[in-house]
Amino acid sequence: MYLDVQATSPVDPRVIDVMNQMHFCVEETNKKFLWIFRRTFFSVYVFEWETKVAKLVNADPKEIVFTSGATESNNLAIKGAAYFPRRKEKKHLITVQTEHKCVLDSCRQLEMDGYTVTYLPVQSNGILDLNLLASKITENTLLVSVMHINNEVSVGTHLYLIVCWDTRDNTQNKQKIGVIQPIKEIGQICREKGVYFHCDAAQSLGKVPIDVNELNVDLMSFSGHKIYGPKGIGALFVRRRPRVQLRPIISGGGQERGMRSGTLPAPLVVGFGKACELARLCVQEDHAHVSKLSAKLLQGIQERLVEATLNGDKIQRYPGNLNISFAFVEGESLLMGSHLFYAFTGLKNVCVSSGSACTSASLEPSYVLRAIGVSDDLAHTSIRFGIGRFTTEEEIDYTIAETVKHVTRLREMSPLFDLWKEGLLNKIQWTQH
């Protein structure tokens, strides 16, 4: 069973149906029409689904630039803004220590090219201190990049706990309960100081409502495969008023309004558009479903296991992501299914992860957990559970039972756990070598 939705989500069958129809349309179009008509067909058909992507975030379709995914979108936003010829006098950027690796690596590449980057720390709950951000912006600052919802601990820089969408006229009901919106304040700070604001929304698109105008963002990155769409497609919102100009990082035929060259993969665009359409229609239902199962999973684990700690803020978070540390258990041991000489099955029937899909191959503890003050020892014990649209209660029940069983077995092999139970662990004076 699949509980790793933050890494990638299963493709919704309704998305597959539309993509298959597009494949058949392409085949028939190639047979029946001349090149000029085929080109017109693609332009009109793709624009229809481009509009659906834009509608999900209240943008103009002309502000949507299709890419291969959020990694490329983040690279284009950061490097494209920095390398644009008219801005060479502004060589300072600001980001956060808990950003996705592609954002951090893009900033490090700019540092090698002579730019200065400020990496802001976060508070113990993972939330950015807005006063600290404002104090770090200077007259040389070009861009601020802040992630919307963190992919490891799902701390959000704004959260809609309940939101209603009126599907009759496709407008958002203005009743919002429990709304916390620091991201809007970040955008306002940047707007007042004349600084571009980029937001990586790969983990939030389709999970919480997004209005790019209300949030004051200039650039926002999206991913198709995080919202039950296909892999290999994403988008970047690029504001037109006031206009944001980017230097393309891929040279070629000048597609996507000159910002991203290369022929569009029409079936992927259609699939992404359909996923966005479904997300807009299902956001309230999905949120209620995910919240219910998330609460059940967390309660079921913590009632049966001591020292099972939820990482990140307890309230200002997306409920579909539970990052839990199991003290005295190595997270990789729980996933890999072996421990010393004992036959141990592990969570072999449950697909979860020990961190970001882009960094979990590393043996280093999560830099995100480190940044929010989690010790290295405890960070090594963390497991990320991702709950999504197609997760069932039966799967949650099975996951609770398997997690409790295997964590308990691993702890039985841990001398540290025995010392902790006897109250001796804190009395030991460890020596360093």
Q: Please write the tens of the pLDDT for every residue from 48-67.
A: 888 999 999 999 999 999 99
- Is the pLDDT at 134 greater than 90? The verdict is yes
When mean pLDDT is compared across 20-29, 117-126, 150-159, 178-187, the lowest value belongs to 150-159
The predicted model scores a pTM of: 0.85
Q: What is the CATH number of domain 282-418?
A: 3.90.1150.10
Q: Which residues contact 357 (CB under 8 A, 6 or more apart)?
A: 4, 6, 7, 8, 151
What is the pLDDT, as a whole number, of residue 374?
82
Which of the pair, 171 or 415, is modelled with greater confidence? 415
Cα 190 from chain centre: 22
Of the spans 123-137, 171-185, 327-341, which averages the highest pLDDT? Answer: 123-137
The answer, yes or no, to whether residue 177 has pLDDT greater than 60, is no
Residue 177 or 214, more confident: 214
Evaluate the omega torsion of the peptide bond into residue 242 and state whether it is cis, within 30 degrees of 0: yes
Look at residue 128 and tell me whether its pLDDT is greater than 60. yes
* Lowest mean pLDDT, pick from 119-123, 256-260, 285-289, 429-433: 429-433
pLDDT at 155 over 90: no
- Count of residues making up the chain: 433
Beta bridge partners, 146, equal 199
Q: Is the pLDDT of residue 432 over 80?
A: no
Can you read off the two tokens belonging to residue 209? Answer: 């409502």
Please report which confidence band the pLDDT of residue 41 belongs to, taking 50, 70 and 90 as the band edges: low
* CA-wise closest residue to 102 among 363, 356, 384, 425: 356
pLDDT at 126 over 60: yes
Asked if the model's pLDDT at residue 176 lies above 60, the reply is: no
Looking at 73-82, 270-279, 309-318, 379-388, which range is the least confident one? 309-318
- Please state, in angstroms and rounded to a whole number, the distance separating the CA atoms of residues 75 and 97: 17
pLDDT in the model for residue 365 = 75
pLDDT tops 60 at residue 223: yes
Active site residues: 358
Query: Residue 39 above 80 pLDDT?
Result: no
User: Which residue from 278, 53, 283 is spatially nearest to 161, judged by alpha carbons?
Assistant: 283
Q: Assess whether pLDDT exceeds 80 at residue 194.
A: yes
Q: Which stretches of 202-350 are DSSP H helices?
A: 266-304, 331-336
Most confident of 25-29, 122-126, 372-376, 407-411: 407-411
- Winning range, highest mean pLDDT, from 30-44, 280-294, 331-345: 280-294
Higher pLDDT pick, 195 / 33: 195
CATH topology of domain 13-161+176-279: Aspartate Aminotransferase; domain 2 (3.40.640)
Rounded CA-CA distance 368/222 in Å is 21
CA distance 196 to 41: 36
| DSSP code of residue 427 | G
- Rounded Cα gap, residues 132 and 167, in angstroms: 40
For the cut 90, the answer to whether the pLDDT of residue 216 exceeds it is yes
**Mean pLDDT, residues 387-410:** 94
Residue 153 has pLDDT above 70, yes or no: no
Residue 27, pLDDT > 60, answer no
Query: Strand pairing partners for 25?
Result: none
Q: How far apart are CA 128 and CA 121, in angstroms?
A: 7
Q: What is the pLDDT of residue 193?
A: 96
DSSP 431: P
Which comes out higher in pLDDT, residue 129 or 345?
Answer: 129
What are the strands, taking DSSP E only, across 180-332?
A: 196-200, 219-223, 234-238, 308-310, 321-326
Mean pLDDT across the stretch 73-97? Answer: 92
Tell me, what's the pLDDT at 336? 66
Q: What is the pLDDT of residue 178?
A: 21
Q: Is the pLDDT assigned to residue 325 strictly greater than 80?
A: yes
pLDDT at 175: 28
Residue range 229-246, pLDDT digits in tens = 999 999 999 999 999 999
Mean pLDDT, the chain, whole residue set = 83
- Output the pLDDT for position 316: 77
Q: What radius of gyration, in Å, describes the C-alpha atoms of the chain?
A: 23
CA dihedral 390, 279, 297, 11 (to 10 degrees): 40
Q: What is the spatial distance between Cα 138 and Cα 125, in angstroms, rounded to a whole number?
A: 27
Predicted pLDDT of residue 424? 67
Q: Where are the domains of the chain?
A: 13-161+176-279, 282-418
pLDDT of res. 341: 33
Instruction: Give the residue-averaged pLDDT of 85-92.
Output: 84
Overall average pLDDT of the 266-289 stretch = 94
The DSSP annotation for 379-393 comes to HTTEEEEE--TT--H
